[in-house]
Every structure is written in C-alpha cells, then in structure tokens.
Amino acid sequence: MTAPIVRFGTLLLVWLAAVFAITELTGWLFAWPAAFGGLRVGSVALYGPGQFLAWRGLLAPGHRWIVDGATLVSGACALALAVRAALDLRGKQAHGFGAGRWATRTDVRRSGLLGRSGR
C-alpha cells in the first residue's frame, strides 16, 4: 500500500474509534436501556459505531438534544480528521512560520542578534 492510503485508512480507523466511543458514552448516559439494542455484556451494552443515530426517535423530546450533541461531536471529529488529511496531502509546499520552522543564516543576520562580528 502507498503511504497516503495507509494514512487515510489510519484516519478512518481513528474516526470510527471516536464514533464508537461517542456511541458508548451516549448509551451510558441513558444507562444502556434494552430498547437501544446492542450486545449485552452483564449490565452493559456494546453498540456499533453510530448506532445512536437510530435512538433519536426512541427518546422523549426533552432528551433528543443528547443524540443531536453526539451527532455534532461526531461531525466535528470527522471535520478535524479531514483537515488533518488535507494538511497531510499538502506536504511541504507551504513554508512554516514562527516556531514551526528553523531560521536560516540570513534570518539570523537580519534579526541583529549576532552583533557586529557576525558570531
């Protein structure tokens, strides 16, 4: 596999892990009710990534904001990883600024930090 495909696959796995964690957290907030389904392990249920999207209709209107919030957080994770992938594909095209790059000899001379002797 080529490096961009491996990076994309890694970012996809990270996003799926984040959505899995968000789904489990949402199930935990409601104390893993049987109506949500999932694989029962003792008093806990394990859900598939994104399964919380189907729960909105099962909830009272006053509790639907939790599923809406989980959806927004999942979208924010996807957006952050998409930005990371776009910056990764950009490569070394852009010059760094500030602490993100090393100064050249010309930069140091221009700053006046060397004094008159140049050392």
Confidence of residue 51 (pLDDT cuts 50, 70, 90): very high
Mean pLDDT of 106-112: 81
With tokens 């001379």, the residue in question is: 109
User: Is the predicted pLDDT of residue 96 greater than 70, yes or no?
Assistant: no
Could you give phi then psi for residue 33, rounded to 5 degrees?
A: -70, 150
The whole-angstrom separation of Cα 102 and Cα 104 is 7
Bigger pLDDT: 1 or 99? 99
Share of the chain above pLDDT 90, in %: 41
User: How high does pLDDT run on average in the chain?
Assistant: 84
